[in-house]
């Protein structure tokens, strides 16, 4: 479980319901629109070129941050699912959030990357889930959960059953109150 404070354009971390075609095209590979080019694709992506801990990153070792543990306050939610062309994003505006060192961030949305956006010691995982949070001042906190194959997860199974298949497709309340974001956190 990791926490990233300055996301790149790739993850759709803006929090809103992104629509296909509203931002420059980017990919995770390639000379024209891959990660090394993200900072040049749009002025809004400038941090990708000048930042020091931008996505995607390889976590090469564990380092104690000195911060207290993240306090999760996740609740069951009705979600709106949208296929934005890069991922399926689940909008979650239900009062869920996290607290980091006494600072509250509200949960806005969750989305997946396949394969994982980040790596551990150079190893990619089959998928990665990002929980995107925003504080009252607009700062973002993204909690990343790496996903490996294993026993079925009932929350994931519910989400997979309601995925919008085409770019721009949106399913309002598709997962009803069955979606419990806490069920996607590691035990």
Q: In this predicted model, what pLDDT tens digit does every residue of 6-25 receive, in sequence order?
A: 334 444 454 443 344 466 77
Per residue in 130-176, pLDDT (tens digit) is 999 999 999 999 999 999 999 989 888 877 777 888 888 888 775 44
Which residues are known to be catalytic?
A: 86
Would the pLDDT of 42 be above 80? yes
Of the chain, the percentage scoring pLDDT greater than 90 comes to: 30
Residues with Cβ within 8 Å of 83's Cβ and at least 6 positions away in sequence, in order, are: 20, 163, 164, 165, 166, 167, 168, 169, 170
């Amino acid at each position: 479980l990791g926490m990233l404070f300055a996301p790149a354009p790739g993850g759709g971390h803006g929090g809103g319901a992104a629509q296909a075609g509203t931002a420059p095209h980017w990919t995770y590979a390639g000379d024209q629109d891959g990660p090394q080019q993200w900072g040049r694709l749009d002025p809004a992506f400038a941090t990708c070129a000048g930042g020091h801990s931008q996505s995607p990153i390889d976590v090469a070792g564990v380092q104690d941050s000195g911060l207290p543990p993240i306090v999760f306050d996740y609740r069951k939610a009705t979600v709106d699912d949208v296929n934005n062309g890069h991922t399926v994003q689940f909008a979650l505006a239900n009062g869920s959030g996290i607290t980091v060192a006494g600072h509250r961030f509200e949960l806005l949305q969750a989305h997946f990357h396949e394969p994982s956006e980040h790596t551990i010691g150079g190893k990619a995982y089959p998928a990665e889930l990002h929980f995107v949070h925003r504080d009252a001042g607009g700062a973002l906190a993204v909690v990343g959960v790496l996903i490996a194959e294993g026993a079925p997860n009932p929350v994931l199974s519910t989400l997979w059953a309601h995925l919008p298949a085409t770019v721009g497709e949106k399913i309002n309340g598709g997962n009803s109150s069955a979606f419990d974001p806490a069920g996607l956190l590691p035990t």
